Structure 1
């Protein structure tokens, strides 16, 4: 896909991977509209981006989703690319995770992208050369302890994207799924796990660059983590008990490092 002139809505576009994606897309000549829940963060992001527009709205609410699409239509005159990037996480043992936190993860990480995509499809169809980009997580490919609900939501988003890609095949709308690994973002600020526990972090700009390259190439997926991640995915497929054993050796330290990881 040629990005110059494309009209793009990036949810969760006021920080982290979303903000980095907005920068990358603008650099490719795209016209960008970002959304985020907090007005102050939106204002700061728009000052930084300079040429973008946006709205403060909650993607987890019907009103927020409607206002995002209305705002994008007013600012851009249509929509060619929807980037479902907004997300939330609460790590920890399942039985210690509040029901409200579980519901919030499902609402933001899975239900909201499905419903926003559904509502955006008429706008995307009108362009004739459109795309939906779902930002899942590397954890959707390899389930990790203490991230059970987050893993479920992101894995659901990934399979949603795969099914939708096949549903829309030949209709002018491509679907790409991105699987970032640990990334230097505000969402990761309360996670104290490091490379020794499998959380080797990379800059948000690197992740965004790879996703944009994937959009340009009409890729099906973008998986971060290089050969290390590829080997782990293969091992998880061929010998999941070995992955279980590896996590067992890390479990106590990992639980302590992520028990306060929360960004909802």
Structure 2
């Protein structure tokens, strides 16, 4: 896909991977609409992007709500006149033992990480189909490929998003809309700020800019998937497929330290 002139909606575009991708897309000539729940962060992101010459607008809206999604789609029509790319990037996470996580926290992850992308894709499809050559980019997680302990709900919704994208890609095959699924590994973003797990339990963080560059490449190639984490992550994915009990044993050996590191992880 040639990005120049494309109209792109990025949910959760006021920080982290979303904002980094907005900067990368702007350099390729995309026109942008970025969303986020906090108006101050959205305004700051728009100002930073415009300072680089980007054609960008912002809207403060909670895509986990019906009203927020309606505001978002209305803004896409008002500011961009339609859509060529929808990037479902907004995310929410709460780690810890399942019985210790509150019901409202579980529901927030389901609504933000799974329901919102499905409903936004549904709402955006008429615009994407009208243009021909449209694309939906769903930002899942490497946890969808190797489910980590203490992230049961988050792993479930991110795996659900990945399966949604795979099914929708096949549904839309031949209809002029492509679906790309992105699987970031640990990324240095505000969403990860409360995760204190370190290299001793296998956690490492790459820059949001590196993930954004990979997403940009995936869009341009119209790739099916972008998987981050390098050879070590791929080896874990392969092992989880071929010998999942070996992965069970690996996590059992670091379980106490892993739980201690991830238990504070909360971004809702």
Match of 2:75 in 1: 71
Secondary structure at the aligned position of 1:164 is classed as helix
Unaligned runs of 5+ residues in structure 1 are none
Spell out the pairing of 1:114-263 with structure 2 (5 A cutoff): 114-263=118-267
Unaligned runs of 5+ residues in structure 2 are none
- Cα deviation 1:91-125 (Å, max 9, x = unaligned): 00001010110000000000010011101110111
Match of 1:84 in 2: 88
Spell out the pairing of 1:14-33 with structure 2 (5 A cutoff): 14-33=14-33
Secondary structure at the aligned position of 1:54 is classed as strand
Q: Using structure 1 for the length normalisation, give the TM-score.
A: 0.99
- Cα deviation 1:131-158 (Å, max 9, x = unaligned): 0000000001000000000000000000
- Cα deviation 1:203-225 (Å, max 9, x = unaligned): 00000100110010010000001
The Cα shift of 1:197 comes to 1.4
Secondary structure at the aligned position of 1:187 is classed as helix
Q: Using structure 2 for the length normalisation, give the TM-score.
A: 0.98
The Cα shift of 1:126 comes to 1.0
The Cα shift of 1:54 comes to 1.1
Between the aligned partners of 1:148 and 1:76, the Cα distance in structure 2 is 38
Match of 2:45 in 1: 45
Secondary structure at the aligned position of 2:239 is classed as helix
Match of 1:34 in 2: 34
Secondary structure at the aligned position of 1:222 is classed as strand
Between the aligned partners of 1:249 and 1:78, the Cα distance in structure 2 is 51
Spell out the pairing of 1:102-121 with structure 2 (5 A cutoff): 102-121=106-125
Q: Which runs of 4+ in 1 moved over 4 A?
A: none
Between the aligned partners of 1:7 and 1:195, the Cα distance in structure 2 is 39
Secondary structure at the aligned position of 2:185 is classed as coil
Number of residues paired by the alignment? 264
Match of 2:13 in 1: 13
The structure 2 residue matched to 1:98, chosen from 99, 102, 111, is 102
What is the Cα-based RMSD across aligned positions, in Å? 0.6
The Cα shift of 1:159 comes to 0.3
The Cα shift of 1:194 comes to 1.3
The Cα shift of 1:196 comes to 2.0
Between the aligned partners of 1:7 and 1:106, the Cα distance in structure 2 is 28
Between the aligned partners of 2:20 and 2:101, the Cα distance in structure 1 is 30
